[in-house]
Copies of this chain bind each other. A is one copy, B any other.
Amino acid sequence: MILTVTLNTALDLTYGVPELVPHASHRVSDMAERPGGKGLNVARVLSALGQATVVTGFAGGSTGAVLRELLAQLPPRDTTGTDTRAAAATVTPAATTATATPVPAPAPAPITDALVTIAGNTRRTIAVVDRTTGDTTQLNEPGPLVTADEWAALLGRYAELLTEADAVALCGSLPPGIHVGAYAELVRLARSSGVPVLLDTSGEPLRRGIAARPDLIKPNAEELAQLTGSREPLRATRDARRRGAHGVIASLGPDGMLAVTPDGVWRASPPARVLGNPTGAGDSAVAGLLSGLVEGLSWPDRLRRAVALSTATVLSPTAGDFDRAAYEELLPGVDVEEHTAAAGDAVG
C-alpha cells in the first residue's frame, strides 16, 4: 500500500455564489463538502488509479468527525455490487503486461483511515467560487494546536504503518504546535525503514525536510524560487537536488514538469495548453509519481502519468478531481524529452 501523511487535514467547503462582491451579503447557491488536505487529495487520486492507500495525520473535533465520515464514504461504492478490490486485482496486472503505459480505468482501491485523533478542531478551508467569472477566493483556517503527546502518537502510528508501506508521501502545511523540523523527522524514519519517501511542502519545513534526504520532492515554481532564490527552472531544480533531495520533480504549471533524478534529467510536457482550475493538480501529480514508482514504471512513464493526471485535474469541472476521459486521452500524447548526457552529468 501507499501511505500518505497529512498533518494539517481540512474539511474543504466549496461555496458557489452568483457573484462575489466584497462587503456585500451573499446567499450560497450551491455547496460541496469533502475531506481535504494535500495527502487526502493524493489518496483520492491513488484510489482512482487502483492503488490501495492508507492515510494518516491528525483529525479532531466536530470538523474532524465530519471529515472522517466523508472519508469513510471513499472510494464511491460500485453501484453494480462488484467487489472493487477484487476487480482491481484482476484488471490491473493483466493490462500492465499488455501495454507499457498504465491501465486507464481500474476499479477504485480502498482508502484506509489511520488518522490520529486530537483534541483540537480540524480546520476548514472555504473556496468561494464566483459562478459568473469562475474565479475562486480561498479562505483557510490555520488549523488546530497539536500537543506534544499527539505528535508522539503520530510518530508511533507512522512507524507502525511504514512496516507495510511501499511508498510514503508527506504532504502540506504544518498545523500550529508542530515543530518546523517535523517533516525531516518523518523523512529520516521512512529512510531508515527503507520506504521511498516523497515530500511535498513549502517554506522552512521543506528546507529542513530536504536536508534529511527524501527520495523525491515535487515543488512548483514558486516553492522552488523560495527555496533556491532562482526562477530559472533547471538551475533551481539542480540546486534543490544539491540540498539533499535524491530526485526533484519541478511542476511548471502549463509547461509540464522537469525531473532531475539520479537516473537522468527529463522534461515532460502536456500535448496542449489547457484552461481550467489548477486546484489539486499538484496532488494528482504526486499520486501519478508514487503509483508509477510502486508499479515499477520507468521515469518517462511516471512523468507521463503525472503530467496527464495533473492536466486532467485542471480540466475537471470539480476542483481537485481529475477527468478520467481526459486523462486517458492525454496520456499517450505527453511528450517526454531526455536531456543530453552532458546536461545530466552537470546534475548534483
Contacts and interface: CB of A to CB of B under 8 A. Distances in A.
A117 to B, nearest CB: 16
A28 B140 contact: yes
A138 B21 CA distance: 10
Contacts of A79: none
B17 A139 contact: yes
Interface residues on A, range: 20 to 34
B140 A26 contact: yes
A20 interface: yes
Contacts of A78: none
Contact of A24 (B17, B24, B137): B137
Contacts of A140: 25-28
Q: How many identical subunits does the complex contain?
A: 2
A78 to B, nearest CB: 26
Contact of A66 (B24, B31, B62): B62
Interface in A1-48: 15, 17, 20-29, 31
- Closest A-B pairs by Cβ, 7 of them: A25-B138, A23-B135, A62-B66, A28-B141, A26-B139, A22-B137, A62-B62
Interface of A: 15, 17, 20-29, 31, 62-63, 65-66, 69, 126, 128, 130, 135-142
28 contacts: A17-B139, A20-B22, A20-B137, A21-B137, A22-B22, A22-B130, A22-B135, A22-B137, A23-B130, A23-B136, A23-B137, A24-B137, A25-B137, A25-B138, A26-B137, A26-B139, A26-B140, A27-B142, A28-B139, A28-B141, A28-B142, A31-B141, A62-B62, A62-B63, A62-B65, A62-B69, A126-B126, A128-B139
Given A22-B137, A26-B139, 16 more contacts: A15-B139, A15-B141, A17-B139, A21-B137, A22-B22, A23-B135, A23-B136, A24-B137, A24-B138, A25-B138, A28-B141, A62-B63, A62-B65, A62-B66, A62-B69, A126-B139
